[in-house]
Chains A and B, each alone.
Chain A
Amino acid sequence: MALGRNSNQQATVPSTEQGRIDYAGKKIGMWLFLFTELLFFGGMFLLYAVYRSRYPAEFHWAAQQENLLLGSINTMILLSSSLTMAVAVSAIGKAHRRLSCLMQMVTMLSACCFLIIKYFEWGAKISKGIYPNSPVLLAHEKGDILFFSLYFVMTGIHGLHVLIGIIVMAIMLFFTRRGVIAPDNFAKLENTGLYWHFVDIVWIYLFPLFYLIT
């Protein structure tokens, strides 16, 4: 292998070599992580798909037991939080630090509202005796048992991702306030945004599958 060692050749040098941050590389890394999340949730969607095809009537009935109003409100909350997140990222790029911080806070608060509503939804079910392995649930049809098990597991793992998102956003807000995240260096915030939009997309699919197949 022939090597040229002089800088006379107009070869492109990897950007990290000159001490510049590889912004595109960090973005690719984040997208790759999101693909792993896609496949992680994908395993659950696979189970849902198979069991729905096996027990269509029970899934249909069970979905009617869901609280459509709360689910719709939650969907609106998450969609709006995606907006505020996108604005937050755009804002810091335009050096509008205060707007960015405000938007980040609104995103976090929206996420908290989502979780609070989820808490009430779960609470309502649990008070009716519907939770995995409960005697009430086990007395139901097999399709119902599967539907509600999938409901708790999928919204639970999604909710865990929302919670993690809130924590990460809090850290990013701290960084933005401190100037670590700045107009010339906001890959962290952009990547957090990518994560948050992904969490939103998962819910965009969960909502119809659990609330609307009636």
Chain B
Amino acid sequence: MDDKASEEMSFYEDSSRYRGMLAWLMSTDHKRIGLMYLGALLSFFTVGVALGVLIRLSLIAPGAILNAQQYNEVFTVHGIIQIFLFIIPGIPVSFGNFLLPIMIGARDVAFPRLNRFTLWLYLVGAAVVLLALFIKGAPPDTGWTFYAPYSIKTKANVSLAVLGVFILGFSSIFTGLNFVTTIHRMRAPGMKWFRLPLFIWTLYATGWVQILATPVLAITLVFIVLGRVFGVGFFDPSRGGDPILYEHLFWIYSHPAVYIMVLPAMGIISEIMPTFSKRKIFGYKAVVFSALAIATVGYFVWGHHMFTSGMSDTARIVFSFITFLVAVPSGVKVFNWIATLYKGSIQIDSPLLFALSFIFLFSVGGLTGLIIGSLAPNLHVHGTYFIVAHFHYVMFGGVGFSFLAGLHYWYPKMFGKMFSEKAAKIGWFFFFIGFNVLYFSMFILGYNGMPRRYFDPPPQYHSGEMVSTVGSWLLAIGLIIIFCNLIRALFKGPKASANPWGGRTLEWTIPSPPPYENFIEMPVITEGPYGFGKK
């Protein structure tokens, strides 16, 4: 890098015609938008974690802190916040926004003003959801899944919460639309499709899922409001309706939604593995096609959430079969990540530690998913803590750890500072141990019959609940250490260089933090990513 580049203004200092907070909120710069999203996401995540800790406390002393009605409201809000305000927007709006243009050699996304609009939609949607918790009436108590007929009948502020989610849905849709268009149209010269970094491929696949699945949730939420306000009984048997159709419509979105969550997370792992083993990714094309396959096949497995709902046997068999198919491309990815390590020059820094954790925890979650996806076991574990453990392993152990991996990996690039590697590892340790104590015990509880969403566990589960709750405290300590480390580094950390990890994708060729226009001269690409050469 030449000296001129390091003297260049970073995007933080670049002047705009607004000042202060407005200079950020009115910015169309994808980097600023990404950081604002990141701040909002992590704030909501913290609230969600606090609610989770509260749930665990209540479960070891039912009635002492929350009564039964409040318990229902707390787990509902925990789910709504973690899913709709954190994990679905999650990686695409934070790391995706910040890095997509840079990694493909562009100056910004295809529609920068639309990008800014998605941020505003997100903030408004979040505000409406939070409003539903505090205004007159009660917070929703339906579970984040809003199943009919209860969601139509309950006196809680469901319409308002659902309106908030509707608005958030459009933020997601427009983000996906923007990213798909950007990847088609704004790649730098020479950046052919099969030279794209794998993170970009996952953002592409995710964008398509956002475009094609989210609108189905949108209309389903409209149906809930129509039912509550106008008495339209699409899911009311007394009016000819079918509650199972609600479940179909809901899961037609909500299953692909988990791929919106996990595909970008897998993309991050695909970026980290080559850098920390100093080898190019094993089987680049296989990883690309597995991402596309997961997005495609994942679109058609939604019925596996409904095996005990009263669906036809034929449908159960079909959905179970397709569910087994979708595990295959995930397996391909896990294999290829591990193969990338083989004969590599491995540097176990914090990003790699979180990434390796992802591989282990996601595999546990994924394998238990196969158990749940089999029809006979499903009858026993549906609606139990086995399910709760499974999805926390894939979503929190998977996407959550990947989020932290990406945060540590790209931290120097985004903030121009370096954090304490030692503190990161200590935080990881508590987080990892706490996570497994908290959630593995749930597999055992669920296998032994503990139902989910129950306010007062029967006494035979008490010791398991106790172990799990202690795990939640260890996990919370870990998170506190991790975030204190990162926040401290913002103010007191040493300056970071352009490429502290030795990465081989475009973001590591520009200063940390990047200048406003990303590249002084547009790069021209002549070969694929992860060019670590033969080893």
Contacts and interface: CB of A to CB of B under 8 A. Distances in A.
Contacts of B189: 9, 11-14
B231 A133 contact: yes
Contacts of B226: 132, 153
A145 interface: yes
Interface string B220-260: 10110010001111100001111001001100100000000
B213 interface: yes
A36 to B, nearest CB: 5
Contacts of B216: 39-40, 42-43
Contact of B184 (A16, A28, A38): A28
Contact of B214 (A2, A22, A36, A50): A36
A40 to B, nearest CB: 4
Interface string B417-459: 0000000000000000000000000000000000000000000
A16 B233 contact: no
A61 interface: no
Can you list the 10 inter-chain pairs with the closest CB atoms, starting with the nearest? Answer: A133-B231, A142-B240, A11-B189, A43-B219, A4-B524, A39-B215, A40-B215, A25-B185, A3-B523, A146-B240
Contacts of B232: 132-133, 149, 152-153
A146 B211 contact: no
Nearest to A25: B185
B181 interface: yes
A2 B230 contact: no
Interface string B164-207: 00000000010001101100111111100000000000000000
Contact of B233 (A29, A38, A54, A149): A149
Contact of A16 (B186, B218, B220, B242): B186
A35 B181 CA distance: 13
B106 A14 contact: yes
A5 B186 contact: no
A21 to B, nearest CB: 11
A2 B527 contact: yes
A142 B178 CA distance: 43
A145 B215 contact: no
B261 to A, nearest CB: 19
Interface string A150-165: 1011000100000000
Given A1-B505, A133-B232, A43 B249 contact: yes
A47 interface: yes
Q: How large is the interface on A (under 10, 10 to 19, 20 to 34, 35 or more residues)?
A: 35 or more
A24 interface: yes
Given A1-B531, A149-B234, 17 more contacts: A2-B531, A4-B525, A5-B523, A6-B524, A11-B190, A14-B188, A35-B212, A39-B216, A43-B215, A44-B219, A51-B240, A133-B231, A143-B240, A146-B240, A146-B241, A150-B234, A153-B226
Interface string A132-143: 110000100111
A16 B178 CA distance: 15
26 contacts: A1-B509, A3-B509, A3-B524, A3-B525, A5-B523, A5-B524, A11-B189, A12-B189, A17-B107, A25-B110, A25-B186, A28-B184, A32-B180, A36-B211, A39-B212, A39-B215, A40-B218, A42-B216, A43-B223, A46-B248, A46-B249, A47-B245, A47-B249, A51-B240, A149-B232, A153-B232
A37 interface: yes
B78 interface: no
Contacts of A132: 226, 230-233
B526 A4 contact: yes
Contacts of A42: 215-216, 219
A51 B506 CA distance: 53
A3 B531 CA distance: 12
Contact of A146 (B186, B239, B521): B239
A120 interface: no
Contact of A39 (B111, B190, B213, B529): B213
Contacts of A198: none
A2 B107 CA distance: 19
Contacts of A143: 240
A12 to B, nearest CB: 5
Interface residues of B, number: 56
B185 A14 contact: yes
A34 to B, nearest CB: 10
A181 B239 CA distance: 50
Where chain A touches its partner, the secondary structure class is: helix
B401 to A, nearest CB: 27
Interface of B: 106-107, 110-111, 114, 173, 177-178, 180-181, 184-190, 211-216, 218-220, 222-223, 226, 230-234, 239-242, 245, 248-249, 252, 504-506, 509, 521-529, 531
B181 A29 contact: yes
Contacts, number: 143
A33 interface: yes
A33 B240 CA distance: 33
Nearest to B216: A43
A145 B235 CA distance: 12
Contacts of B215: 36-40, 42-43
Contacts of A22: 110, 185-186
A55 interface: yes
A29 B111 contact: yes
Contacts of B222: 157
Contacts of A40: 215-216, 218-219
A146 B237 CA distance: 11
Nearest to B176: A32
A91 B153 CA distance: 53
Contact of A32 (B177, B249, B526): B177
A44 B222 CA distance: 10
B298 to A, nearest CB: 16
B225 to A, nearest CB: 11
Contacts of A25: 110, 181, 184-186
A29 B110 contact: yes
B351 to A, nearest CB: 19
Contacts of B111: 29
Nearest to A42: B216
A131 B494 CA distance: 68
A166 to B, nearest CB: 21
Contacts of A3: 509, 523-526
A6 to B, nearest CB: 8
A72 to B, nearest CB: 27
A100 B527 CA distance: 48
Contact of A1 (B107, B180, B211, B504): B504
B392 to A, nearest CB: 29
B184 A142 contact: no
Given A50-B245, A133-B230, A133-B231, A1 B506 contact: yes
